[in-house]
Amino acid sequence: MTMDRAELIGLGAAIGGHALLLALLVFGLLGSEEKIEERQAIAVTLEGEGTPLPVTSQIGEAEPAPEAAVLEEAAAEVDEAAETADSKADEAQAAEADAKRAADTAKAADATAAQKRAAKAAAAKAQRKRKEAAAAEAKRKKAAQEAKRKRQKAARDKTARDKAAREKYDRDMKKALGGSNAPSATAKRKAKATIGGQIRIRGCPPGLEVEKIITRVSINLNKNGSISSLSRVTQSGKTSSNAPQMAPIKRCVLNSIRASAPFRGLKVEDYESWKSIRIAFKVS
């Protein structure tokens, strides 16, 4: 079997292409290693200096400030209402002057019937303008009140956003520095210890190798320290000798937890930290 020239060129091109691809892959992989080193350097910076690089971009400086737009909008509404009220007041004042002039003319020069009608019309127009001016003034006051309400709301929203941003910043900082991303891991640990210290396990019978049994329970709590539910009950440490005691120990642990509630000494402000905690129970 022989190959013609075109086939030889094709084969050569294919081999050359594969060789090139392999070389690219190898050098590409070298490049990957350098990137890993760069990332490690960033990690060292975070741990050593505490620079919150990964979190500053997430805190929200670049986010729009909705309260500014709201305030501008409210101010514009007030300005518009004020402008309307002012122009209406001017118009009313002008109409009033016209009406007065017409009345004076009618009085002073023993006016004709036509002049009297004109004076009467001018007076009616002046009254209408006064009413419009009063309405415009009322609208201006209302717009001012609305603007004030919006300013107050915007201020409240800003406070809440600032608080959330601060908390998020704290969480991100803890995470970046190797801490927990929980709302407050310390508070949770304290709450676990507080609750664990109040649970008295009673009524568990002795048995062979019962000390190997570990029963874990998630205790879900209400804000007043009472139990809303017990969940995720798991047991480990089962042997052929202690197998019969698994169920009685689970039962007495759950009964004892219920009998120990409500739990005291828990801070309501840390509720998010202890509303659901997991505790392990073990025979000493």
177 secondary structure, DSSP code? T
The residues binding another protein (CB under 8 A) are 26, 29-30, 32-33, 180-182, 185, 188-189, 192-193, 195-196, 199-208, 210, 216, 240-241, 244-248, 255-256, 258-259, 276-284
Question: Are the CB atoms for 217 and 281 separated by under 8 Å?
Answer: yes
Choose between 20 and 26: whose C-beta lies nearer to another protein. 26
Sign of dihedral through CA atoms 239, 243, 247, 248?
negative
Question: Are the CB atoms for 218 and 231 separated by under 8 Å?
Answer: yes
CB of 202 to another protein, least distance (A): 7
Choose between 2 and 284: whose C-beta lies nearer to another protein. 284
Sign of dihedral through CA atoms 57, 58, 64, 65?
negative
Choose between 66 and 265: whose C-beta lies nearer to another protein. 265
Angstrom distances, CA of residue 223 to CA of 36, 140, 226, 232: 46, 47, 7, 20
Choose between 102 and 266: whose C-beta lies nearer to another protein. 266
Q: Which stretch of DSSP H or E encloses residue 86?
A: helix 66-108
Choose between 103 and 210: whose C-beta lies nearer to another protein. 210
CB of 38 to another protein, least distance (A): 17
CB of 259 to another protein, least distance (A): 5
Tokens of 97: 């002057």
CB of 274 to another protein, least distance (A): 11
CB of 240 to another protein, least distance (A): 5
